[in-house]
A = this chain, B = another copy of it.
Amino acid sequence: MSSSDQKSISNIGFDNSGQKTPKRYFTKDGNSTVIRSGIKFKDRINLYNEFLNMSSWKFILLILFAYFSINLCFATIYFLLGPESLGIATTTRFCWATFSECFFFSAQTLTTVGYGRISPVRFDANVVASIESLLGLLMFSLVTGLSYGKFSKPKMKVLFSSFGLITKFKEGNAFMFRLATASKYTLTNVEVYLTLALNNIVDGVEKQEFFQLELETKNIINLVLSWTIVHPINEKSPIYNLTINDLKAKNAEFFVSLRGFEEHSSTIIQRRTSYTADEILGGKKFIKIFGYDDKKERTILRLDQLDLTEDFS
Of B185, B225, B229, B269, which contacts A15 at CB under 8 A? B225
Query: Interface centre among A115, A188, A189, A212, by most B CB within 10 Å?
Result: A115
Chain B residues whose CB sits within 8 angstroms of the CB of A129 once the complex forms: 104, 107, 113
Contact indicator B266/A153 (Cβ below 8 Å): yes
Which B residues lie within 8 Å of A230 (CB)? 11
| Contacting residues, chain B, for A120 (C-beta < 8 A) | 104, 115
Query: Which residues of chain B have C-beta atoms less than 8 A from A22's C-beta?
Result: 296-297
Q: Least Cβ distance of A260 to chain B in Å?
A: 10
Residue contact A108 to B130, C-beta cutoff 8 Å: yes
| Chain A, interface SS category | mixed
Kindly state whether residue A162 has any CB partner on chain B within 8 Å.
no
| Contact with A304, one of B38, B221, B222 (Cβ below 8 angstroms) | B38
**Which single member of B12, B35, B269, B291 contacts A217 (CB below 8 Å)?**
B12
Contact A266 B269 (CB under 8 A): yes
Report the minimum CB–CB distance from A106 to chain B (whole Å): 9
- Give the docked Cα–Cα distance between A297 and B269 (Å): 30
| Complex Cα gap A265–B10 (Å) | 29
Across-interface contacts of A142 in B (CB, < 8 A): 147, 151
Q: Are A145 and B151 in contact (CB under 8 A)?
A: yes
A133 touches B111 (CB 8 A): yes
* The one of B87, B182, B257 that contacts A36, using a Cβ cutoff of 8 Å: B182
Other-chain contact of A182, B39, B100, B193, B266 (Cβ < 8 Å): B39
- Asked if A305 is an interface residue, CB under 8 A from chain B, the answer is yes
- In the complex, whether A33 has a CB less than 8 A from a CB of chain B is yes
- Return the contact of A34 from the options B148, B193, B224 (Cβ within 8 A): B224
Q: Which of A45-53, A76-84, A234-242, A275-283 contacts B (4 or more CB under 8 A)?
A: A45-53
Nearest residue (CB) in B for A136 is: B111
Contact for A11 among B43, B220, B292, CB less than 8 A:
B220
List B contacts of A223 (CB < 8 A).
Answer: 13
* A42 CB, nearest partner CB in chain B, Å: 9
Contact flags (1/0) for A1-36 with B, using CB distance below 8 Å?
000000001111111011001110100000111111
Which residues of A are in contact with B by a Cβ distance under 8 Å?
9-15, 17-18, 21-23, 25, 31-39, 43-44, 46-49, 52-53, 63-64, 67, 71, 87, 97, 100, 104, 107-109, 111-117, 119-121, 123, 126, 129-130, 133-134, 136-138, 140-149, 151-157, 159, 182-186, 188-190, 193, 195, 212, 216-217, 220-230, 255, 257, 259, 261, 263-270, 272, 288-293, 296-305
List 12 contacting pairs A-B, 8 Å CB cutoff, sorted by A.
A18-B291, A32-B186, A43-B182, A44-B183, A46-B155, A46-B156, A46-B185, A87-B117, A100-B126, A104-B129, A109-B113, A111-B112
* Top 8 closest pairs, chain A to chain B, by CB: A38-B304, A145-B148, A116-B116, A115-B119, A107-B130, A113-B114, A115-B116, A111-B133
